[in-house]
Amino acid sequence: MEEHRVEDVATPEGFDRDPELVQAFYNARRRQLQQPEIQPNAAHLALAKLQDALGDRFLLVTQNIDNLHERAGNTNVIHMHGELLKVRCSQSGQVLDWTGDVTPEDKCHCCQFPAPLRPHVVWFGEMPLGMDEIYMALSMADIFIAIGTSGHVYPAAGFVHEAKLHGAHTVELNLEPSQVGNEFAEKYYGRQARWCLSLLKSC
């Protein structure tokens, strides 16, 4: 795919400056996500199995904007950075499912005056989604598991500390230690899918 500067395609200012470029950028990624070869991996499927076992006691918070967790079978998912297969009204914030391309001419008609649609993606400088629900879940969690994260990006990197404050047991499953790896009580490093499956087998 064509390379672009983050400032041009992942900021509100970039969208205001060149909406056609931004829409084309996300259109290409939306099309790619829906290619038949893009499928949930073993880790996605393992987390779906964990939800089956735990029911409504399980919450999956992801920084990914794809729908692979849902396609694997997870239903209790918060996409804190938004979703690629959705758009929202730039005026009212109303969110719409959207699998095709978006052009600057596409409008949302939920408002008195039709407003442009924008990708339902959190850009740099914007607040992540679902934070109240996430912090509520962290305050009540018995176990907090972080899988495959770098620990560089806040507020997500701070979730382990928040969970610890409320007494949760914390586990990191990763290819290598994250930037906040020392916060975790239990740590496993190796292939994500293998460790997810091992965790499930021990439940």
Residues 120-140: tens digit of each pLDDT: 999 999 999 999 999 999 999
- Specify the pLDDT at position 14: 96
Residue among 40, 38, 42 nearest 196 (CA): 42
Catalytic residue of the set 44, 79, 81, 120:
81
Place of tokens 């970039």: 14
- pLDDT per residue as tens digits for the range 154-189: 999 999 999 999 999 999 988 889 999 999 998 888
pLDDT of residue 108: 87
Q: Which residues pair with 60 in a beta bridge?
A: 77
Q: Where do the domains of the chain lie, and which CATH numbers do they carry?
A: 6-36+84-121 (3.30.1600.10), 42-81+128-200 (3.40.50.1220)
Strand 82-89, strand 115-121: pairing:
antiparallel
Report the distance separating Cα 184 and Cα 177, nearest Å: 10
Return the percentage of the chain with pLDDT > 90, whole number.
71
What is the full per-residue pLDDT of the chain (203 aa) written as tens digits? 568 899 999 999 999 999 999 999 999 999 999 999 999 988 898 899 899 999 999 999 999 999 999 999 999 999 999 999 999 999 999 999 999 999 988 998 887 788 899 999 999 999 999 999 999 999 999 999 999 888 888 999 999 999 999 999 999 988 889 999 999 998 888 866 566 666 664 55
Q: Containing H/E element for 100?
A: none
- Quick check: is 81 catalytic? yes
Q: What is the pLDDT of residue 130?
A: 98
